[in-house]
């Protein structure tokens, strides 16, 4: 973690709303207007700052992280904003989350990617640490990028989350993880990630307390 990260600010990339409904947010990334329907019942169904930070970073660092025709897995995709941006950038995207979030996630992804000349994204159930080998067998699934935003907050699933990151991060895979750091548990999780992976802080968004990290497998 010795590199000096870029210090950035989350840009106000959302467009003033045209609609008067409280549940839709309009964003613009990579020249596309993206309309996200949030759901107030679920944590996963609100756009958190880490998603904005990673979307913005992917948009402005396309040469460093070229997603075109790459296989991308988003874990804890929530409303799907990051997966939609990755899709617009040309990736083969698989967006995953808990069963109760999938309906809203699928709706947002299909609505924002239909009629576009891009790889059709896939939406799948993924409960961290559960059934990974059955649902995503090592022999058939290899991802170039794993994307995760705001997956660490007050919840009990941190061990399964770490196990999921370890499972999908194979040699050659890049994990890009953006998170708001508030609690000591967030920093403890960060320490575990740094102990397991080669980790670099790519960017910090101090006003939002967001850090964006890149992690890769240590190859012995």
Percentage of the chain surpassing pLDDT 90? 75
pLDDT in tens, 92-121: 999 999 999 999 999 999 999 998 888 999
| pLDDT of 60 over the 50 cut | yes
Average pLDDT of the residues in 115-134: 94
Query: Helices marked H in 1-127 — which ranges?
Result: 49-60, 81-88, 102-113
pLDDT in tens, 26-37: 889 999 999 998
pTM recorded for the entire structure: 0.91
Average pLDDT of the residues in 172-180: 97
Q: Specify the range with the lowest mean pLDDT, choosing from 9-18, 109-118, 196-205.
A: 9-18
Query: Residue 51 in 3-state DSSP?
Result: helix
Average pLDDT, the chain: 90
Query: How far is CA 149 from each of CA 42, 115, 134, 157, 180, rounded to the nearest angstrom?
Result: 16, 27, 25, 15, 9
| Structural contact between residues 26 and 82, judged by C-beta atoms closer than 8 angstroms | no
What pLDDT does 41 receive? Answer: 66
| pLDDT of 1 over the 80 cut | no
Nearest to 24 by CA among 11, 35, 13, 32: 35
Q: Which domains does the chain have, with CATH numbers?
A: 6-217 (3.40.50.150)
What pLDDT does 115 receive? Answer: 84
Rounded Cα–Cα distance for residues 58 and 185 (Å): 27
DSSP 54-67: HHHHHHHTTTTS--
Rounded Cα–Cα distance for residues 151 and 137 (Å): 23
In whole angstroms, what separates CA 112 from the centre of its chain? Answer: 16
């Amino acid at each position: 973690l010795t590199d000096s990260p870029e210090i950035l600010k989350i840009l106000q990339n959302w467009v003033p709303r045209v609609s008067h409904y409280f549940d839709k947010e309009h964003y613009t990334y990579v020249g596309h207007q993206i309309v996200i329907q949030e759901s107030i019942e679920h944590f996963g169904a609100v756009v958190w700052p880490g998603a904005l930070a990673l979307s913005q970073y992917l948009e402005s660092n396309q040469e460093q992280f070229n997603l075109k025709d790459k296989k991308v897995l988003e874990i804890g995709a929530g409303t799907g904003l990051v997966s939609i941006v990755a899709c617009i950038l040309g990736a083969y995207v698989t967006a995953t989350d808990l069963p109760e979030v999938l309906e809203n996630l699928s709706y947002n992804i299909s609505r924002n990617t239909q009629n576009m000349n891009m790889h059709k994204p896939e939406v799948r159930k993924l409960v961290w640490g559960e059934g990974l080998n059955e649902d995503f067998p090592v022999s058939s699934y290899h991802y170039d990028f794993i994307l995760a935003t705001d997956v660490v907050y007050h919840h009990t699933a941190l061990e399964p989350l770490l196990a999921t990151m370890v499972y999908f991060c194979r040699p050659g895979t890049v994990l890009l993880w953006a998170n708001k750091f508030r609690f000591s548990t967030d920093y403890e999780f960060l320490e575990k990630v740094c102990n397991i992976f080669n980790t670099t802080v790519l960017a910090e968004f101090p006003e939002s307390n967001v850090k964006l990290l890149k992690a890769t497998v240590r190859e012995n």
